[in-house]
Amino acid sequence: LVSRKKKSEDTVIEINNEKVGVGDPTFVFGPCSVESYEQVAAVAASIQSKGLKLIRGGAYKPRTSPYDFQGLGLEGLKILKQISKEYGLAVVTEIVTPTHIEEALDYVDVIQIGARNMQNFELLKAVGATNKPVLLKRGLAATIDEFIHAAEYIMSKGNENIILCERGIRTYEKATRNTLDISAVPILKQETHLPVFVDVTHSTGRRDLLLPCAKAAIAIGADGVMAEVHPDPSVALSDSQQQMDISQFDAFYNEIQKFMKQY
């Protein structure tokens, strides 16, 4: 169902009056984790001032260690909902278990499936049975074929609003957190009719690489770019090494806009 052979036109998904999958790239910025109302509001104000329409932030965090911050859960979803109303932003947030989906539907505009859950088939089927747009991230060590099959799981249950997100894969290279597989973008665009995003934060794990990788993503034809922004990354409860602060975010977005004008 997700194959280009099945449908030749690009899938376009409308989220908060923004058309994803056609025209200018979509941007998804926001903190790694929802930590407090004030923290998310500071980022939301900056996103809103740029005329952007989406915000991200994790309420359920799949962390490597059980002793690391696990997210605020439902409380985090409530913060996101309040921010969404106050700033007019659509919320992109990760759901990690089918049992949370029903509850989350009231709070969330786009359900994110994280890399660690790309092959959680029961979760894929459960989000496939909703009509919420889904942002599906590529697994840590998933082939493109496995990634496409994961999207197929979702669509096989009836939900056609799927965005694929390349977020880097695990390789022997240690200079970056993961290896951004930039060629996955045109391959996914050829093989499927779905919008394709690039998450420059989790793929690189390096603030100095966010801008060049975002440019590469746009140049190669990505439909959107995701990056993490936190008012004070040094005290962030997750991913403190790689989030941009607000002034870095301003500079990043300025450069991206200049870059896009060249096209």
Q: Which of 40, 43, 89, 115 is close enough to bind ligand PEP by CB under 6 A?
A: 115
| Between 153 and 252, CB nearer to Mn ion | 252
| Near ligand PEP by CB under 6 A: residue from 2, 13, 15, 32 | 32
Contact 196, 189 (CB under 8 A): yes
The number of beta carbons lying within 10 Å of the beta carbon of residue 99 is 10
Measure the CA–CA gap between 46 and 227, rounded to whole angstroms: 14
Size of the site for ligand PEP (CB under 6 A): 10
- Contact region with ligand PEP (CB under 6 A), list: 10-18, 97-105, 114-122, 142-150: 114-122
Name which of 191 and 239 has its Cβ closer to Mn ion: 239
Q: Which does 94 bind (CB under 5 to 8 A by kind): Mn ion, ligand PEP, none?
A: ligand PEP
4 vs 63 by CB, closer to ligand PEP: 63
Q: Which of 21, 25, 71, 114 binds ligand PEP (CB under 6 A)?
A: 114
Phi, psi of 261 (to 5 degrees): -65, -20
Q: Give ∠ CA 203-84-162 in degrees, rounded to 5.
A: 50
**Cα dihedral angle (44, 233, 64, 105), rounded to 10 degrees?**
-10
Chain residues that interact with Mn ion, rule: CB under 5 A: 32, 239
Phi/psi of residue 148, nearest 5 degrees: -65, -40
Which of helix, strand or coil describes residue 210? Answer: helix
Q: How far is the CB of 261 from ligand PEP (least distance, A)?
A: 28
Spatial contact of 92 and 119, defined as CB atoms under 8 Å apart: no
* Three-class DSSP category at 28: strand
- Binding status of residue 21 toward ligand PEP by CB under 6 A: no
- How far is it, in rounded angstroms, from Cα 167 to Cα 184? 10
CB 201 within 8 A of CB 210: yes
Three-state DSSP at 189 gives helix
230 binds, among ligand PEP, Mn ion, none (CB under 5 to 8 A by kind): none
Q: Which among 170, 224, 164 is positioned nearest to 190, based on CA atoms? A: 164
Amino acid identity for residue 216 in this structure: A
Q: Which does 109 bind (CB under 5 to 8 A by kind): ligand PEP, Mn ion, none?
A: none
- CB-wise, 25 or 114, nearer to ligand PEP? 114
**Residues of this chain, 133-152, that bind ligand PEP according to CB under 6 A:** 137
Q: Shortest Cβ distance from residue 219 to Mn ion (Å)?
A: 24
Task: Give the contact letters, 74-113, x = binds to ligand PEP (CB under 6 A), - = no.
Answer: --------------------x-------------------
Residues that bind ligand PEP (CB under 6 A): 32, 58, 94, 114-116, 137, 167, 199, 202
